[in-house]
Each structure stands twice: as structure tokens, then as C-alpha cells.
Amino acid sequence: MKLNNLIVFLAEDDEDDRWLFEQALADLKIKTELSMFKNGKEMMDYLKKGDTITPHIVFLDLNMPIKNGMECLKEMKEDENLKKIPVAIYSTSSSEKDIENTFISGANVYINKPNNFSALKKVVEKVLQLNWQYQTSNLNKENFLFRI
């Protein structure tokens, strides 16, 4: 691990979406280290190992097998060691109920998966450049949903 790199976790069951996300990160000027997980259980097991490097931000797909994004979000927010990690929900769902539930459960931003690569790069860069200390202290529904 390199110092000053932004450590990013992505829990996403769709292989194509993982690949696109990885390519978007690679194209950005922001130095990152990406760890990808095929489902929420994989990520949570890794995070709870104890000797794991804590990510700076977690991107969670809502609809995953075994353990979905909402279950991961709730588990993270109930864990003293994980609850301060910013969580970006990264989902195809634009359901108001999903958006509301993730907001109430403590997610920091909600991203509707963009339908093209340049929009994906733009939204990922915007999320990674946020000042999370400021963002979490001023969390409201107006700055929660990211649409590009």
C-alpha cells in the first residue's frame, strides 16, 4: 500500500460493473487503491478481520446476493470501528423508497449508476473529491443524491 493513496472498497456483484468502476478510477488523476468484493458478505468478512486496512470510502451496490448493500450499510453503522467510514450507495435503483431508506440508515451519498463511462468517471471523481468531514456534518437530502 502506498501512502497518500485513497483506499476505496467496492462491493458489487456484477462483473461488468466492477470492471467499469475499476477503469473509471484508473482514468482519474486521484491516486487510489481499489479492493473489490463480489458481495456484501465478502466485504464485511474482510472488514471485520481486525488487521484490515480501513478504507477511506466504501461503494455499495444495493442489490447483491448473500448480503445486500442495505444489510452491509446497517452492519457498518452499528459497528464502532466501521461507522465513521463514508458509504456511497451505488445502484441502478432510482426508487424513492431505496433512496430514503439508505439516507435514514446512514449512507453518505446515493449514486444512480450512470449509463455511460464518462458520466461514471465524473460522478466517481466528484464523490472522491468531497471533503468527507464537512459532508458528514452537513448531511441532508439535497446533497445526498448524486445525478450526473
- Single pTM value for the model: 0.87
Quote the cell numbers at residue 39: 458481495
Q: Which CATH class is domain 6-146?
A: alpha beta
pLDDT at 135: 46
Quote the cell numbers at residue 106: 446512514
Model pLDDT for residues 113-128, shown as the tens digit of each residue: 888 899 999 988 888 8
Asked if 91 contacts 120 with a C-beta cutoff of 8 angstroms, the reply is: no
* CA pair distance 30, 40, nearest whole angstrom: 25
Chain position carrying cell 476505496: 8
pLDDT at 24: 93
Contacts of 89 (CB under 8 A, 6+ apart): 59, 60, 62, 69, 73, 98, 102, 107, 109, 110, 111
Model pLDDT for residues 44-103, shown as the tens digit of each residue: 999 998 787 889 999 999 999 999 999 999 999 999 989 999 999 988 888 889 888 988
Model pLDDT for residues 37-54, shown as the tens digit of each residue: 999 999 999 999 878 788
